[in-house]
Amino acid sequence: MYQFTLWVLIGLFLAMSALAQTPALTPISPGKPTASVRPSVLSSPSPSASPTTEDLVNSLGSADLQAVITLLKSNFTNPDAITDTELNRATVEGLMVRQPRGVMLLPGKASAPAEPPSPFYSEIIGGHIGYLRLGSLNGANLQALDKSLSNFAGKKVDALVVDLRSSPATSDLALAAEFAKRFSPKGKTLFNLRKPAGRQDRVFTSDRDPAFRGLVMVLADGDTAGAAEAIAAALRFYDKALIIGQSTGGRAAEYSDLALPGGKILRVAVAEMISPEGRSLFPDGIKPDLPVEMSMADKRQIFQLSGEKGMGPFVYEAGRPHMNEAALLAGTNPEVEAAEAAQQRRGRAPEKPPAHDPVLQRALDVVTSLEVYQKR
């Protein structure tokens, strides 16, 4: 009862702050909830010695909470703002603010366009490092993964970079677990699905030998969501993989879509994923071992272009033109030509630098460093 009243009060403060405009509840995207931070009403700038509004609300006891609501109903200048309906709206809004990844309000299944699946992609970088972008965790991409791992085995690939930065949440957790089985030892737990008390947990275990046993690096960011976060945790635990990039999406949970009488959908996290070492992955996600910042726009542009150009052009910088034997025979000087071209460009608008993937570059640098160390 105390927690429920607390949520009512916090939600009420939110509703009161925007009373003059009386906005309707904004539907939250099913793929990426937007309320990832608390509104400014809860975190408005204040002197370091002064408590915030949230601190003050959290400090109220049950009697004070009830008193606030009673006093507002009888004293507030606009009585229509403190009706039971507004209190219920404030409760729902407050819950979505406090649990942005666990409670979402959707406009309805009919009006929610389905996101196209993210494709699988692979290549060999530097002659011996396999790069795997798993994409959506679906059946077609699982088959593509098996084919790539089989090809890698015949080409002496001794290190893998598993890119999970385009692996959104999926509802088929059993299929998602199949991806983790390709890298995890047989008989080991991949992840648990822990449900509320009184309900039986679901355990996902590997029933096959891994298809790769070498060095593994994992790339992740905010687009790494749901079961992809559990895969990253399993690879870090069993393969000692380093996770490079940014924090994952914090949506490692099983969701249920509950229909509301008016046609909208209430999406609720009903079970949380637990890593092999017993740590909950929801709602905080996974923090990277090596943080590397990169804009989502640059990443998606690179992924779109990589099908034609490969990932190499976005990792390795182009070499500076220099004098060589062919230039001497032709009577030209590449260094002078490059300098003249740069001089001509100075009067123009500055060119946008080429897209660059610092996350993948960091992973390749780590692999190379470990190889140099092992050969000493």
Task: Give 83-102 pLDDT, tens digit per residue.
Answer: 989 989 988 998 999 899 99
In 28-110, the DSSP E strands lie at: 103-106
Chain centroid offset of residue 376 CA:
38
Mind listing the pLDDT tens digit for each residue in 7-31?
Answer: 544 454 444 444 434 333 333 344 4
**Domains of the chain from N-terminus onward:** 2-100 (no CATH), 121-252+271-291 (3.90.226.10)
State residue 40's pLDDT score: 39
Please state whether beta strands 265-274 and 103-106 pair in parallel, antiparallel, or not at all (unpaired): antiparallel
Which amino acid, 72? L
Are 245 and 220 in contact by the 8 Å Cβ rule? The answer is yes
Strands of 138-205 (E only): list them: 159-163, 189-194, 202-205
Rounded Cα distance between 216 and 213, Å, is 8
- Alpha-carbon span 150 to 375, nearest angstrom: 27
Does pLDDT of 2 surpass 50? no
pTM across the whole model: 0.78
Contact residues for 320 (Cβ-Cβ < 8 A; gap 6+): 338
- pLDDT of res. 6: 46
pLDDT digits (tens, 9 = 90+) for 241-285: 999 999 999 999 999 999 999 999 999 999 999 999 999 999 999
* Secondary structure, 3-state, 189-230: EEEEEECCCCCCCEEEECCCCCCCCCEEEEEECCCCCCHHHH
338 to each of 248, 328, 329, 332, 354, how far by Cα in Å? 42, 16, 18, 11, 17
Of residues 224 and 79, more confidence is placed in 224
